[in-house]
Amino acid sequence: MSDAAAPDWPDRIFAVLKRGRIAQVGYVPDAGHARLIELVCADPEIADVVLTTEEEGIALAAGAWLGGARAALLMQSSGVGNCINMLTLARNCRFPLLMLVTMRGEWGEFNAWQVPMGRATPDALRLSDVLVYRAERPEEVEETVEAALDIAFDGEVAAAVLLSQRLIGRKRW
């Protein structure tokens, strides 16, 4: 790590994705995912796919699975709202889906516009039949992502890990 103070949980997520044979990662950038995106883009074995909207990633993951590959999807909580109808693709066809969602609108949020979607995120996912896991502390991240990845691909279901805003830290301006 270039910065000794930087958290290492993004690197641990990356290790889980590699162990889990993730071959495609779709993402809409988020500051909380910046390190993980950097690692993904530097890995020649992973196709990094920058999306214009998060729902594209649900369809990308479905196509990957049809072709025998595993995909993961990175987004912030505001993007969950963009995914709702496309989540029916995963539900109807039982496509595995792994969503890693950095939370906004929680602890330390400075922008009230982020709060409504942040508050709605876990319920919106549950209503869409997505299994919801949450990591609050750095030491929980690796095992939580691993559990979500396992159930998603072994059980052919959709699973999301919410990475709390407390974990990511207060946004500095």
27 lies in the binding site for other proteins (CB under 8 A) = no
Options 47, 84, 147, 151; binder of other proteins; rule CB under 8 A: 47
Looking at the Cβ atoms of 46 and 135, the one nearer to other proteins is 46
φ and ψ at 112, to 5 degrees?
-60, -25
Q: How far is the CB of 155 from other proteins (least distance, A)?
A: 12
The dihedral formed by the CA atoms of 143, 137, 41 and 109, expressed in degrees to the nearest 10? 140
HEC profile for the chain? CCCCCCCCHHHHHHHHHHHCCEEEEEECCCHHHHHHHHHHHHCCCCEEEECCCCHHHHHHHHHHHHCCCEEEEEEEHHHHHHHCCCHHHHHHHCCCEEEEEECCCCCCCCCHHHHHHHHHHHHHHHHCCCEEEEECCHHHHHHHHHHHHHHHHHHCCEEEEEECHHHHCCCCC
24 lies in the binding site for other proteins (CB under 8 A) = yes
Q: How far is the CB of 90 from other proteins (least distance, A)?
A: 9
Q: Pick the stretch among 54-62, 123-131, 137-145, 158-166 that binds other proteins (CB under 8 A).
A: 54-62
Interface of this chain with other proteins, residues 55 to 114, rule: CB under 8 A: 55-69, 71, 85-86, 88-89, 92-95
151 lies in the binding site for other proteins (CB under 8 A) = no
Looking at the Cβ atoms of 135 and 149, the one nearer to other proteins is 149
Looking at the Cβ atoms of 82 and 165, the one nearer to other proteins is 82
29 lies in the binding site for other proteins (CB under 8 A) = no
Site size toward other proteins, by CB under 8 A: 32
- Name the residues that contact other proteins, by CB under 8 A: 23-24, 47, 49-53, 55-69, 71, 85-86, 88-89, 92-95
